[in-house]
Amino acid sequence: MRMFSHAMEALNPPSERKKRKRRERRTDDEGLPWSSRGRYGGVGGHEWFDTDAGASRSPVVFVHGNGRTHEDWTDHAEALLDEGFSGDELWAITFAHPSSTHREMSSQLDEFVRNVREYTGSESVSIVAHSLGVTGVRYWLERRNRYEWVDTVVSIAGANHGVSVCSGDEDPKTLGEYARPSRFVGYRYRERPNHPLKRLNAGTETPGDVTYYTIRGAYDHYYWRDPTSPELEGASENVLLWTNHIGTLRSDRTRALLSEWLTDGPDDGAADDGRTAV
């Protein structure tokens, strides 16, 4: 149904007025303790979550995927609140465009994380990203050299080695705006010299003094050509869940892993290659 709606949008593109209203909704910053100046939206902080002020651990920044918003992370934030996290330790961004390019994500994420660090007084943050947000985070880290800003990255169902459902040759003008990031994550990226995703995977896939984790789904149709695409060589754990693309986001097991990784660190019982099936 979602794919059908995207096709209909391509045939009947929204008017400029509708696009403007949609952007205004996405860049609503009433849930943030600073002004985004219409560049992005999101929520976070003790006032939003109604907790005491202050952060005693690295704040968590949640990053959504293609066509999504910060609302994807509501249950995850609530679970961490139950584990003793404060509101100032929980933040989630909404990118201005529903299908952002990696440059757009990098720019908006850089400002968002900068504000989180300044507001909380924290030197570093932990990042939890899903789907397109995963490569958005990796691109931001590499392009801006922000590895010192981050101590943990949890990548959920990310196209770390490309997706199987698009080649990268898709034209957003004919297929709709949801095809905007396809050139970055399309499976033919390996054929293109100096491709940005190829650069991200050159050398170590887990650069910086950062702890990396990944989660992938056994039934994720986005990666039927390369089921292990979401994994990162060198990650502390690469976890396989018996679910699909959205299931990796919504799974109770994912929330349990986040609680474990963001509070206790890696599982000493993980396999030598970092892979774990649960």
Q: Which residues touch 186 (CB under 8 Å, ≥6 apart)?
A: 162, 163, 166, 167, 168, 169, 170
Band (pLDDT 50/70/90 cuts) for residue 176 is low
Spatial separation of the C-alpha atoms in residues 263 and 56, rounded to whole Å? 11
Provide the pLDDT for residue 258: 98
Look at the chain and report how many structural domains it folds into: 1
Among 100, 93, 163, smallest CA distance to 127 is for: 93
Spatial separation of the C-alpha atoms in residues 61 and 73, rounded to whole Å? 10
pLDDT tens, 33-78? 999 999 999 999 999 999 999 999 999 999 999 999 999 999 999 9
- H-helix or E-strand containing 7? helix 2-11
Provide the pLDDT for residue 267: 62
Spatial separation of the C-alpha atoms in residues 50 and 47, rounded to whole Å? 5
- Domain span at residue 67 reads 2-277
Among 266, 265, 256, smallest CA distance to 80 is for: 256
Compute CA 136 distance to the chain's CA centroid, rounded to the nearest angstrom.
Answer: 7
Spatial separation of the C-alpha atoms in residues 130 and 197, rounded to whole Å? 17
| Prediction pTM value | 0.88
CATH number for the domain that contains residue 75 = 3.40.50.1820
Q: Which residues touch 249 (CB under 8 Å, ≥6 apart)?
A: 65, 72, 130, 131, 156, 157
